Amino acid sequence: MNQTPQLVTNTVAPAEAAAYAVKVAVAKAAKSDRTPQVTFMLAILAGVYVAIAGMFYTVIFTGAGDMPYGMSKFIGGLGFSIALILVILTGAELFTSNTLLIMGRAEGKLTASQILRNWSIVFSGNFVGSLLMVALMIACGQYLFAHGEVGIKALYIAKSKMSHSFGQAIALGIICNLLVCLTYWMCICTTDTTTKILACMMGIAAFVGSGGEHVVANMYLLPIAVVIKNIAPDAFWHMTGYTAADFSHLTVANVFTVNLIPVLIGNILGGGVFVGMSQWYAHLKKHETPEEKAIAEASANLQRV
């Protein structure tokens, strides 16, 4: 007897994805409570992975010359996508995707203190991982490659990021993490690894192409430029035709006040509110009809009598 063929799919329904995102949020918070050292190590690894992508992004743009703006951004974005691919496939802890922990608070399963604890550990670990890669790249002298063009490109990338106003940096942070968390959302909507990788490639290409600002990426891209500016030998400046004075705005204080702080605010809004809360409201929040609300109120009144 012939059996009706069943549809085989590797996708997850939106409501199921939202419920899964809450479970992940609760699990992440529990892990940072029970074994903060594990969360911290996974956060260091995520910082390293994003810094690797930042390094690759810098090399891709070195010598790009007259490549059309849009095409160069698209190619750079594809290269940068290695960051989220590594984070998702290895289970590392990335601050920007962890902004979705807000969904756990909306469901009443996490407290604000649990979320802030996780964010503090992960943010710190991401920063440590990024700075480790800065030290490694400086130690290997990568900024001297291509007759110093790699170093100059790193400086110009940072200079561009430091040119935004405070409000503009917040807006670019929102755009960035809106796209990063939507990319993460696409990844949890499928169980297929190849599909996850393709989602990362297109989602991150969109984020880079939009000019969005990612606080963890900037933990590498800005510090390495500041270090190059301050430790590069005279031979580097003679070789490239620039001077440290050309990048006077690149200071440690400005890295935080001009970029990292406003971008951090924007990333939390873009990921936690624009993606997390909207998905929670659409798929998990219980929406009562006027009739159901009236019945519930009547029942409550009866219980008080």
Q: What's the pLDDT tens digit per position in 93-115?
A: 999 999 999 999 999 999 999 99
DSSP alpha helices (H): ranges in 189-289? 193-210, 215-231, 234-240, 252-254, 261-268, 278-283
Q: Does some domain include residue 5?
A: no
Question: Is the model's pLDDT at 179 over the cut of 90?
Answer: yes
Alpha carbons 293 and 305: distance in angstroms, whole number: 19
Q: Does some domain include residue 62?
A: yes
Alpha carbons 123 and 117: distance in angstroms, whole number: 10
Q: Does some domain include residue 152?
A: yes
Q: Kindly report, residue by residue over 194-245, the tens digit of the pLDDT.
A: 999 999 999 999 999 999 999 999 999 999 999 999 999 999 999 999 999 9
**Confidence grade of residue 8 (pLDDT, cut at 50, 70, 90):** very low
Question: Is the model's pLDDT at 117 over the cut of 60?
Answer: yes
Write out the two tokens for 267.
């990333």
Please, is 159 exposed, middle or buried when counting C-beta atoms within 10 Å of its C-beta (0-12, 13-18, 19+)? middle
pTM of the model: 0.91
Q: Which domain holds residue 299?
A: 14-304
Q: Does some domain include residue 1?
A: no
Q: Does some domain include residue 41?
A: yes
Q: Does some domain include residue 4?
A: no
Question: Is the model's pLDDT at 290 over the cut of 80?
Answer: no
Q: Does some domain include residue 24?
A: yes
Q: Kindly report, residue by residue over 62-96, the tens digit of the pLDDT.
A: 988 788 999 999 999 999 999 999 999 999 999 99
Mean pLDDT, rounded, for 255-284: 98
CATH for 160: 1.20.1080.10
Among 8-12, 84-88, 92-96, 168-172, name the one with the lowest average pLDDT.
8-12
Q: Does some domain include residue 9?
A: no
Domain count, the chain: 1
Mean pLDDT, rounded, for 152-169: 98
The rounded mean pLDDT for the chain is: 93
